Amino acid sequence: MPEPPSVPIAARDAILAWYPANGRQFAFRRTTDPYAILVSEAMAQQTQAARAADHWERFMARFPTVAALAAASPADVQREWRGLGYNRRALALWRTARVIESEHGGSVPDSIEALETLPGVGPYTARAVAAIAFGRSVGAVDVNVRRVLGRMTTGGPAAIPVRQMQDLADDAVPPDRSAAWTHAIMDIGATLCRPREPRCEDCPARPWCRFAIAGTRSTDPTTTDWSTSRPKPPFPTTSRWLRGRILDRLRAAPDERWVTIQAPIGTHDRARVRRAADAMAADGLIELDGGRFKGGAIRARLATA
């Protein structure tokens, strides 16, 4: 039976040596506060790290502790989240703060099992927080990390099953360097080991990387970037755009006042605006006034509880 893939110690050491001078410098990487790290990881889900970093400092100034976030209204949190998108993450983070206050004495739990019970915290976020905030020797596996480890050890991530990839990621974590390793491997994936046109010549792991050694970087079938190969509809025609415009109108209203929203909004007619508003209310983002209004208008406000 073949040995499972593993990251050579020399490659790991080279990546750790590369990181101090070449890693991305974000404000949230200078904190050891588990709550602040949890906030940064929640913001970075489906969002570029640099964009999340810009919002993180403002959010932390407004809600510097778990208690401050838990005591806020969901409307306040939604206002501070503006510009990050995927707004359900904001509510999940607010609910997480309330769970931490009520069930964990106000302290972010330090085990993966407990972290994964928090609203909006999945396997990746739980392991990232455990590794960065608490020094746990666990690997946080996102699409970038999967690509780096897969290319390095087998030539491509498709050859490694999900469970085996997690074992590979865990085994690669150096003792007492879990935070630095987590940041370094993420940065390698984001800046060098890209899905298309990877910068193998600049990668510190190149001498040990099967993908680079094979010279297949221009034709790697396991890393097709479907986000760029499939045509996308114009953003203003999407439900995500419409939901964002509705939220922007409600965020501009002070004191959770009701706001009258008329259709159309952009290219979205009355029926699409209503469907979007109903879905947002079901998600807990907004509240709807059940009355009937002239011209089919709706009245809404940011969720207050």
The residue type of 85 is G
Which pair of tokens denotes residue 130?
């455990």
Residues 6 or more apart whose CB falls under 8 angstroms from that of 159 comprise 150, 222
| C-beta of residue 145 within 8 angstroms of C-beta of residue 160 | no
Place of tokens 């050491």: 13
In the set 3, 41, 103, 113, the catalytic residue is 41
Which residues lie across from 260 on neighbouring strands? 299
State the CB neighbour count (10 A cutoff) for residue 224.
12
Instruction: Report in angstroms the alpha-carbon separations of 115 from 45, 118, 144, 234.
Output: 16, 6, 22, 37
The Cα 8–Cα 107 span in angstroms is: 36
Assess contact for 188 and 148: CB atoms under 8 A: yes
Phi, psi of 118 (to 5 degrees): -75, 145
For the chain, how long is the longest CA-to-CA vector? Answer: 72
Mark whether 287 is an active-site residue: no
Cβ proximity of 211 and 155 under 8 Å: yes
DSSP 47: S
Q: Which residues are catalytic?
A: 41
